[in-house]
Amino acid sequence: MEFETVMQELEALGKERTKKIYMSNGAIEPVFGVTTGSMKPLKKEIKINQQLAEQLYATGNYDAMYFAGVIADPKAMTEADYDRWIDGAYFYMLSDYVVAVTLAESDIAQQVSDKWITSGEELKMSTGWSCYCWLLGNRKDEEFDSKKIQAMLEQVKVEIHNASPRTQASMNNFVMTVGVSYKPLHDEALRIAHEIGPVEMQREGKVPGVLHAALDIEKQIEKGRIGFKRKYVRC
């Protein structure tokens, strides 16, 4: 399917209500307002097409950029490619749910995420922590160095209360994900989550949100979901 045809298809799938929701969360024009579910037939037809994904991502159109992540070939992308994508991700719905998700299916996910976590840039840091959430929630426990994950938990404990809002959200999700999906450090993650306690996340134009990883982990314990792994990262 040609680039122009895909853009026309996406525009036709757009809904004004969905567009308003996306824009209220930080998306800026151009935006069509396509739900992720309505993209599935298009994805089924195209499957994987990295060249087309690059064309779509370069448009700056939110829906096209999101769909680019759906049809991208994560293992064909280099570190430079991911750096370019994160540079183009202007708000968290792109950084954490397109770039982080795509990166999580690559072989260089941890090395790129480690670099971004130490970058000092909010969205890069958020994406790095988010990528680890996707990784831990999908890959086998044996694929991770428990000492490294332990050190990352300690880093979150020290930094989360003074971190920028989006980084706070991703750090909180990291602690929760370790507690739920990474059995070797379940007890440690829950302990640290209690030490961290509630985290107030400031949100521009909205009431501050309260993050509490310990409560989230305990809810999953009650549901018997400790050790949960996703079969797939991308839809």
> Which residues have a Cβ under 8 Å from the Cβ of 58 and sit 6 or more positions away?
88
**How far, in Å, CA of 150 to CA of 95, rounded?**
25
Supply the pTM of this predicted model: 0.95
Q: Would you give per-residue pLDDT tens digits along the chain (235 residues)?
A: 899 999 999 999 999 999 999 999 999 999 999 999 999 999 999 999 999 999 999 999 999 999 999 999 999 999 999 999 999 999 999 999 999 999 999 999 999 999 999 999 999 999 999 999 999 999 999 999 999 999 999 999 999 999 999 999 999 999 999 999 999 999 999 999 999 999 999 887 778 899 999 999 999 999 999 999 999 888 6
**How far, in Å, CA of 211 to CA of 170, rounded?**
10
* DSSP conformation class of 98: I
Question: Nearest-CA neighbor of 125 among 174, 77, 79, 84?
Answer: 174
* Crossing angle of helices 122-136 and 79-88, rounded to 10°: 120
For residue 113, how many other CB atoms are within 10 A of its CB? 24
CB 125 within 8 A of CB 159: no
Q: Where are the domains of the chain?
A: 1-72
For residue 151, how many other CB atoms are within 10 A of its CB? 11
* DSSP conformation class of 78: -
Is the alpha carbon torsion for 171, 113, 147, 225 positive or negative? Answer: positive
SS3 118: coil
